[in-house]
Every structure is written in structure tokens, then in C-alpha cells.
């Protein structure tokens, strides 16, 4: 089933959240450096997710995307809004005390983007003030470990071809219906029959908002 958001999501991520209570406890599988998702890390991820979800309503503020997906962002407002919703759902899970747990390809790439930007987010004074109030743990800055634990795989990153930085402001990129992929590239492999045989699914941008697990379809919503 396709995950569809709505225009009122911004009201769901407003207010303050008790990050220390929700993420300050250690589980049996955590090491002595603290929980794998610490209060400070959860607050950083939430901050970037909310900030960027609002930006991507606008064509002039493109996120980091593989070449195959950029025409969808530029040409389809509904696609842009759906991708912004991916950021919002990650934020909403966190404020419920849940891990980010991306549940569609769009959420997976949104989460990778968030983790790419989160280290620099501490330059924002609002986030600095929030983090100063939270307890510290040795693994507060273990971005790579959090990223690997939160996502099931990194198949979506196959879509980045060699030399693709994730950004382009050109309007001359391929049509959404006839993408030109580098011959022998991982993107061509993953989107082809070989990728299907290896269980790689929902990589084409038109399928990015199909839920992986129906059981988690609404786990970002309070009371679900």
C-alpha cells in the first residue's frame, strides 16, 4: 500500500519532546557507551527531519537525490510532497519514542540524507540550546552505527552512479519515463531483472512510497 501524507503533518511535530526519557535508557544489547540511539542523536535527527520536510515543498530547494529521481522532484508537486512526508514520518516516530525505522524507499533515502546533514546541524543555535539540556553519552556522535542499525539495507544508494553528487539544477536531465543509466552501473543492475532476483524492490522513484511492512504502516501516528 502507498503511504500518503496530508497538509496538516506540521502540527504533529510541533512542541517539545522528552528525549532523555524516551532514549536515555540502555537495553541489554547496548554497550557501555550508552544506548545506540542516544537522546542527543534522536534530537538531532528529529530537528533535521522537521526542518527539511518543510523545504522540499518547493522545487527551488532540491534535496540530495540520485539522477534517476531528480526529474520526479522537479516535475511533480505530489512527488515532492510525498518525499517531504517521508521526513515527517521519521520525526513523528522519534517523538513517540520509536527508532526511525524507514518503512519505504523514500524514507530510507530521506534518512540517509538526514544523517548526511545532521553533523552540521549543530551550528543552528536552536539545536545547540536543546542539546545542552540533554545528557551525554560516549556514542552521541556514532552516526554510521545509527544509520546501519536503523535501515534494513542500503539498496537505495545503488541508484547513485559514479560522479553523481546528488544535486543538479539543470532542466535538461532525462525524462522520468525514459531514464538513461550508465551501462554496467549498479543502478542499472539494481533496477533490472538481476536486482529483482536478489530481492531488491521498490527502487524506481515511482515506487518509493510503497510500504515495506504493512504492520508498521501507521506506527508514526499516536494511538496506532
- Kindly report, residue by residue over 5-54, the tens digit of the pLDDT: 555 555 566 678 999 999 998 776 666 788 999 999 999 999 999 988 88
What is the pLDDT, as a whole number, of residue 173? 57
Cell numbers at 165, concatenated = 553528487
Cell numbers at 223, concatenated = 494511538
DSSP state, residue 184 = T
Q: Which residues of 189-198 are buried (b: 16+ CB within 10 A; e: fewer)?
A: ebbeeebeee
CA count, 13 A, side-chain hemisphere, 42:
29
Give backbone dihedrals phi and psi of 186, rounded to 5 degrees, phi first: -65, -30
Rounded-to-integer distance, Cα 217 and Cα 222, Å? 12
What is the pLDDT, as a whole number, of residue 200? 72
How confident is the model over 150-179, as pLDDT tens digits? 998 888 888 887 788 888 766 555 555 555
Question: Pseudo-torsion of CA 71, 64, 115, 98, nearest 10°?
Answer: -20
Helix extents (H) in the chain:
19-23, 39-55, 70-75, 77-95, 105-121, 125-132, 143-150, 186-191, 193-197
Q: Is the pLDDT of residue 189 over 60?
A: no
Residue among 91, 87, 67 nearest 205 (CA):
67
The DSSP bridge partners found for residue 31 are: 34
Give backbone dihedrals phi and psi of 71, rounded to 5 degrees, phi first: -60, -30
Q: Are 35 and 24 in contact (CB under 8 A)?
A: yes
Cα-based distances in Å from 100 to 13, 30, 42, 71, 183: 14, 17, 9, 27, 34
Please tell me the least confidently modeled range out of 13-27, 63-77, 80-94. 13-27
Amino acid at each position: 500500500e502507498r503511504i500518503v501524507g496530508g497538509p496538516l503533518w506540521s502540527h504533529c511535530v510541533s512542541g517539545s519532546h522528552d528525549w532523555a526519557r524516551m532514549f536515555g535508557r540502555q537495553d541489554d544489547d547496548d554497550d557501555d557507551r550508552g544506548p545506540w540511539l542516544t537522546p542527543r542523536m534522536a534530537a538531532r535527527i528529529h530537528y533535521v527531519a522537521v526542518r527539511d520536510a518543510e523545504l522540499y515543498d518547493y522545487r527551488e530547494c532540491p534535496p540530495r537525490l540520485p539522477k534517476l529521481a531528480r526529474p520526479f522532484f522537479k516535475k511533480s508537486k505530489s512527488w515532492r510532497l510525498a518525499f517531504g512526508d517521508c521526513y515527517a514520518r521519521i520525526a513523528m516516530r522519534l517523538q513517540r519514542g520509536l527508532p526511525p525505522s524507514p518503512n519505504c524507499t523514500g524514507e530510507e533515502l530521506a534518512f540517509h540524507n538526514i544523517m548526511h546533514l545532521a553533523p552540521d546541524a549543530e551550528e543552528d543555535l536552536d539545536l545547540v540550546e536543546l542539546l545542552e539540556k540533554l545528557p551525554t553519552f560516549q556514542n552521541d556522535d556514532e552516526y554510521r552505527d545509527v544509520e546501519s542499525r536503523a535501515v534494513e539495507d542500503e539498496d537505495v544508494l545503488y541508484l547513485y552512479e559514479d560522479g553523481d553528487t546528488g544535486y543538479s539544477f539543470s532542466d535538461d536531465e532525462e525524462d522520468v519515463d525514459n531514464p538513461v543509466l550508465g551501462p554496467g552501473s549498479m543502478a542499472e543492475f539494481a533496477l533490472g531483472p538481476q536486482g529483482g532476483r536478489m530481492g531488491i524492490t521498490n527502487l524506481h522513484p515511482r515506487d518509493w512510497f510503497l510500504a515495506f511492512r504493512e504492520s508498521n504502516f501507521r506506527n508514526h501516528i499516536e494511538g496506532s
